[in-house]
Amino acid sequence: MLPTTANLAVQMSPTHDEVTGGWLATVAGMLRNDALDSTITSSPVSGTEATIASAPGARAVARSQPDYPQLERVPPDHYVLGDLLARGGMGRVTRARDRRLGREVAIKSIVRDSAELAARLEREARITARLHHPAIVNVHEAGVWPDGTPFYAMELVAGRSLGDALAGTRTLADRLALLPHGVS
């Protein structure tokens, strides 16, 4: 079950050691769990705290109506799909143009029809949409296409892929030097 907390935020010290030592492990753990508590704290590195909770002093939005239990249908003409940016075991990421807001986005969708993959993608979209940190892309929308395929639209980040960055390195030290750039 997803949290019912209205305003979620990640609060942490964004230094390299703290991010790689604690915060990323917390987020990875959240994505693996079937349930997401409204408050999750992890401190594997001394002085590090990654918390997902209501923003201090924030007023919750009244929950007179429940959240949608599943993703809603989105007309495909809202987006103009472009080039394939990446593909993995679960999904693919495609460049697209959001015609309603006039901006470039990245759209992630599943690679094959599977109830398990659909559920994983929906959970990933809902969790990611609740996280706020410079190292995490913003989720703009989540839904299903008319054929039932789930997707989510997210911020399109300019730059080279991790694979390209790693291909340009020769040593382990060169690869490790990329980490501060990948998490800052």
Which of 51 and 163 is assigned the larger pLDDT? 163
Compute the average pLDDT of residues 56-66.
Answer: 71
Which of 162 and 96 is assigned the larger pLDDT? 96
Under CATH, which number does the domain 76-155 receive?
A: 3.30.200.20
The three state secondary structure string of 72-105 is CECCHHHEEEEEEEEECCCEEEEEEEECCCCEEE
Which of 80 and 9 is assigned the larger pLDDT? 80
Q: What is the pTM of this model?
A: 0.63
The predicted-structure confidence for 128-137, as pLDDT tens digits, reads as follows 999 998 888 9
Compute the average pLDDT of residues 12-17.
Answer: 38
Confidence of residue 161 (pLDDT cuts 50, 70, 90): confident
Buried b (16+ CB within 10 A) or exposed e, 138-152: ebbbbbbeeeeebbb
Q: Identify the pLDDT of residue 57.
A: 63
Confidence of residue 56 (pLDDT cuts 50, 70, 90): low
What is the residue extent of each domain of the chain?
8-54, 76-155
Q: Which of 4-8, 39-43, 52-56, 177-181 has the lowest mean pLDDT?
A: 4-8
Q: Identify the pLDDT of residue 2.
A: 33
Measured between alpha carbons, how far is 153 from 93 in angstroms, rounded to an integer?
9
Q: How many CB atoms lie within 10 A of CB 103?
A: 13
Mean pLDDT of the chain: 75
What is the number of alpha carbons within 13 Å of residue 39 lying toward its C-beta?
5
